[in-house]
Amino acid sequence: MFFGEALMAQNDNEAVDVVLVGAGIMSATLAVLLKELDPTIRLEVVELMGSGAAESSNPWNNAGTGHAGLCELNYTPAAADGSIDIKKAVHINSQFEVSKQFWSYLVRKGTFGSPKSFISPVPHLSFVQGRKGVDYLKNRFAALSRHHAFADMEYTEDKARMTEWMPLMMPGRPADEVIAATRVAGGTDVNFGALTTQLLAHLGSQPGAEVRYNQKVTGLERQGQGWRVEIKDSRSGAARQVDARFVFLGAGGGALPLLQMSGIPEGKGFGGFPVSGQWLRCDNQDVVRQHEAKVYSQAAVGSPPMSVPHLDTRVVDGKKSLLFGPYAGFTTKFLKHGSFLDLPLSIRAGNIGPMLAVARDNMDLTRYLISEVRQTMEQRLDSLRRFYPQAKPEDWRLEIAGQRVQIIKKDAKKGGVLQFGTELVAAGDGSIAALLGASPGASVTVSIMLDLIERCFPEQARSAQWTGKLQEIFPAREKVLETDAALYRDVSQHSNECLQLVPQPARAEPGVTPLP
């Protein structure tokens, strides 16, 4: 049994081992992992919307970049002396490789579905303009290419070569423009919506697992060694209570209000800064066919990391499109389908200080968001033409992206800081955990959920059953991948073959086996 003694329902309440709030990539990944580790576990996923992957995991609400540090320049900051810090890029790369191992394991089981429905090979490029940008990219290439994870990276300042790499972006440029690019052919585009849907379908086919939609969590209360979760059906109005030993709050922007509802001391002091997003989208296949890449550049001076511009190939339901952006905006909603009262209702005595400190220290961000909101379509197209000089207005339309709620947390010196990224907040007894923040969350979900398992289920994670299963699923974890070049290459190659990202050699019948 997952938790030893069976959890007994009280007052005719339903009882499960785990309740997961939100049917996005985070909850779906954690639920499937837990079922693999203990098939007897009883769990329920509850989702406010009428389907899974309706918010941040939806393919049109994110860029679909399999974030691996290959092209994202904000993961490799430059020091004052020009040296490049590659630690974050290396770590994110290893985390994405861990995600690929999990997806490969599920594909090898033979019942999960085709990897082609959610992951596609798309080269990752970095593109810079001006002498300062070129010097930075050259130093970045020199630093990264010495590491085994980036050994296949190519660098060029040759415009003929760049025309081969990104033919859509080169015509119409000034002959004397100073530009450079790097390319990694082994990048990916990931449809996190399709992946989430497959995970949920796989989960729902197993005994002791249920996914329910149109379910709103209205209360969280400590109950013995676990939690009582109050849930209301948004269609019928029927209310019910579920007793659970563990609760995961994986509701994207909606996780912060739920964390506050729980009242755990570890959640006090956290605030949220919601940022909306928009893309320019092109479905004209005559244009789309000329760009087979995700091309990232540098954010404008003084702009936040969320503003890094990129022109991306997207593959959704087998059809290719192009996205350019993101263009930021501001709203008080925490979810795309949320309420304008989300931000004001999240203010508490414990977080108003950090929130005011962040407001004081981030006036540049405020001005940036105001300027983004006020942009006209022509101004957005001008930004696109920095990448694609010959862009035509009739080929592009505005696409509303998902909400991102950046983390505000206490800081001893500043009072509060705005944090870009993700953070796992868990109760001291491991009975409840929430995932806050944004990018690169989806790409590194598996590593985040493995961290959650180690923090919230320490005894089970050390057991022979769970340890053996984890070793079967994950031949190599992050730290080893960062340091062992030969193992990295073997594991990555094996994952790429399973996920059909490279031509596949002849194989015996598929089976779930560890690496040879």
pLDDT tens column, 214-246? 999 999 999 988 999 999 999 999 999 999 999
* Residue 219 falls inside a structural domain: yes
pLDDT reading at 2 higher than 50: no
Q: Which residues have C-beta within 8 Å of that of residue 151, sequence separation ≥ 6?
A: 145
List pLDDT tens digits, range 260-295: 999 999 999 888 888 778 899 999 999 999 999 999
Mean pLDDT of the chain: 89
23 within some domain: yes
Q: Does residue 485 lie in a domain region?
A: no
Confidence label for 514 from pLDDT (cuts 50, 70 and 90): very low
CATH code, 132: 3.50.50.60
CA distance 396 to 377: 10
| Confidence band, pLDDT 50/70/90 cuts, at residue 78 | very high
Asked if residue 239 belongs to a domain, the reply is yes
Residue-level pLDDT at 140: 98
Quick: pLDDT tens for 426-466: 999 999 999 998 767 899 999 999 999 999 999 999 999 99
Nearest to 435 by CA among 20, 18, 26: 26
Number of structural domains (the chain) is 1
Higher-confidence residue: 374 or 471? 471
On the question of pLDDT at 120 being above 50, the answer is yes
Residue 486 and residue 205: Cα distance in Å, rounded? 38
* CB-count exposure of residue 421 (10 Å: 0-12, 13-18, 19+): middle
The answer to whether position 148 is within a domain reads yes
Rounded distance, CA 488 to CA 495, Å?
11
Confidence of residue 1 (pLDDT cuts 50, 70, 90): very low
What pLDDT is recorded for position 452?
97
**pLDDT for the residue 459:** 96
With H, G, I as helix, E, B as strand and everything else as coil, classify residue 411. strand
Work out the average pLDDT over 19-34.
97
462 within some domain: no
Per-residue confidence (pLDDT) for residue 12, from 0 to 100: 60
Is the pLDDT at 378 greater than 80? The verdict is yes
pLDDT tens-digit readout, 140-158: 999 999 999 999 999 999 9
More confident residue, 32 or 347: 32
pLDDT one-digit tens code per residue, 195-220:
999 999 999 999 999 999 999 999 99
Q: Is residue 54 part of a domain?
A: yes
Coil, strand or helix: which one is 244?
strand
pLDDT of residue 302: 55
What would the pLDDT profile of 51-72 be if each residue is shown by its tens digit?
Answer: 998 888 888 888 889 999 999 9
Calculate mean pLDDT across residues 88-97.
Answer: 97
Secondary structure, 3-state, 210-235: EEECCEEEEEEEEECCEEEEEEEECC
CB atoms within 10 A of CB 348: 14
Q: How far is CA 146 from CA 86, 153, 267, 459, in A?
A: 11, 10, 41, 39
pLDDT tens string 317-370: 999 999 998 887 777 887 878 888 778 878 888 888 877 887 787 777 767 676
Q: How confident is the model at residue 509 (pLDDT cuts 50, 70, 90)?
A: very low
- The pLDDT assigned to 439 comes to 67
Q: How far is CA 261 from the centre of its chain?
A: 24
Residues 6+ apart with CB under 8 A from 47: 22, 23, 54, 211, 212, 213, 214, 215
Residue 272 placed within a domain: yes
Structural domain of residue 123, as residue ranges? Answer: 14-79+87-450
Residue 278: strand pairing partners: 327, 400
Look at the pTM and tell me if it is higher than 0.95.
no
What average pLDDT does this structure show over 87-104? 98
